[in-house]
Amino acid sequence: MPTTAGVTVDVSRRPLHDRERAILLPDLERRGIAAGLLDVLPPDGRFFQLLRARDGHGRLVGVTSLMSFRPFVSLKQLLGEGNHVGWDTSMYFASDVDRAAVAGALLRAIAARSMYYAMYFGHIDDDVRAALPTVRHRLLRTDYEIGEIDCRSFTSGDDFLAGHKRLRRNVRDHGKAGGRVHVVEGPVEAGLACRFSDLVFSTYRHHGGVGRWQFREYAHRACGSFFRNCEDAVHIYTSNGDRLTGLQSFVRHRDRLELSEGGFDRSRDNHHAYEAIIAESVAYAATHGLDAVGFGGIWNPAKDRYTDRDRRSPVYLLQLYRGDAQYRLFGDRISAWGFKTYFGGRFGGASGETVVVSRQATLPHHLS
């Protein structure tokens, strides 16, 4: 295995070039991740960067993306490549490298760019877990959950609807009210992408919270770039007359659909557009031989009702600190209080309670 000693990380807005894509593609293929995610790295927008990890010989060994508001806080950005809360942590590696060492270098670089702490919210995969002993951090398990629908037993969308009387009724009501469901694969033209972004912006404003000022930029630049460029996207959206009422954009991976981004028209009743999209996403997976549809975090009652109870996993909050002072200042109680204040009770009926499952107060001597 090539050494990854002396890994360095550079941060820039430069997109990946073809040679770098070729280095990373075998890792995505091995993990069943769509190659199209590399088309949207880094996400478009003023606050997004690409982190390249290089070994002592200058060879590319890993990448990830970052949403950074220096000097205040840096966020490992899940949403710039799509939600993917339930799928991967958006770190991609060269072949035959020490993945934990590369992941650790990327996480430490993210922490170094923050005055207070950096955070990552979502699924924590094995590579990140293995890297945590080399990173000053707190890992909190939240009471939010990640959900999906197992589609392996379905040959059509009707098989899924057969087990959900309420969903069948809601889908029927959506059609009776004039609602239509559309499926578009791959990049969409700029005008439709802009209309999709309007739906995303409407939903982010509806939920509110910290960061309202960047919602429009995120919706129209980061998400807009994804809508226009991702070759592996599957956009499922609803309309009523000339009005778009809802959108859920997915990425088609090797054996699953994974929710990327979406939104809904909040100005008027959309007559169960969300349920119509859920039903259509399962129908798409069933007819294309996919194993599952991942819906990321369970943020609302519809996801809670229709995703499989026995296939859920926790959402984690990973906090990364650049130094000892930040680690001590933002201790266990402050971390739990801050998360509950912002997220508690806002989505999916969870309370925002957290449990610390891992912490590292100091870096190993050879990294400090």
Find the CATH number of the domain harbouring 197: 3.40.630.30
Q: Are 147 and 311 in contact (CB under 8 A)?
A: yes
Closest Cα partner for 285 from 151, 147, 146, 87? 151
C-alpha–C-alpha distance, residues 359 and 318, integer Å:
10
Residue 309 located in a structural domain? no
Q: Are residues 161 and 248 in the same domain?
A: yes
Q: Are residues 212 and 275 in the same domain?
A: yes
Q: Are residues 130 and 157 in the same domain?
A: no
Q: Which two tokens stand for residue 99?
A: 């993945």
Q: What's the CATH code of the domain at 351?
A: 3.40.630
What pLDDT, on the 0 to 100 scale, is given for residue 47?
Answer: 80
Q: Are residues 272 and 327 in the same domain?
A: no
DSSP type of residue 77: -
What pLDDT, on the 0 to 100 scale, is given for residue 60?
Answer: 97
Question: Which amino acid appears at position 223 of this protein?
Answer: C
Q: Are residues 138 and 190 in the same domain?
A: no
C-alpha–C-alpha distance, residues 357 and 351, integer Å:
18
Q: What is the dihedral of CA 240, 242, 244, 250, to 10 degrees?
A: 100
Residue 164 located in a structural domain? yes
Q: Are residues 71 and 168 in the same domain?
A: no
Residue 302 located in a structural domain? no
Residue 331 located in a structural domain? yes
Of 290, 306, 329, at which residue does a domain stop?
A: 290
DSSP type of residue 44: S
205 by Cβ neighbours in 10 Å (0-12 / 13-18 / 19+) ranks as: middle
Residue ranges in the chain whose pLDDT is less than 50: 1-4, 77-82, 84
Q: Are residues 29 and 74 in the same domain?
A: yes
Query: Residue 135 is part of which domain span?
Result: 8-142+318-367
Residue 300 located in a structural domain? no
Is the pTM here over 0.95, yes or no?
no
Q: Are residues 175 and 260 in the same domain?
A: yes
| Cis, peptide link before residue 42, omega less than 30° from 0 | yes
Q: Are residues 31 and 69 in the same domain?
A: yes
C-alpha–C-alpha distance, residues 98 and 5, integer Å:
9
Q: Are residues 358 and 258 in the same domain?
A: no
Q: Are residues 239 and 328 in the same domain?
A: no
Closest Cα partner for 72 from 222, 226, 216, 214? 214
Residue 205 located in a structural domain? yes
What pLDDT, on the 0 to 100 scale, is given for residue 325?
Answer: 92
Residue 90 located in a structural domain? yes
What pLDDT, on the 0 to 100 scale, is given for residue 69?
Answer: 66
Sign of the Cα torsion 233, 255, 83, 177 reads positive
What pLDDT, on the 0 to 100 scale, is given for residue 338?
Answer: 82
17 by Cβ neighbours in 10 Å (0-12 / 13-18 / 19+) ranks as: exposed
Q: Are 225 and 205 in contact (CB under 8 A)?
A: no
What pLDDT, on the 0 to 100 scale, is given for residue 80?
Answer: 35
Domain count, the chain: 2
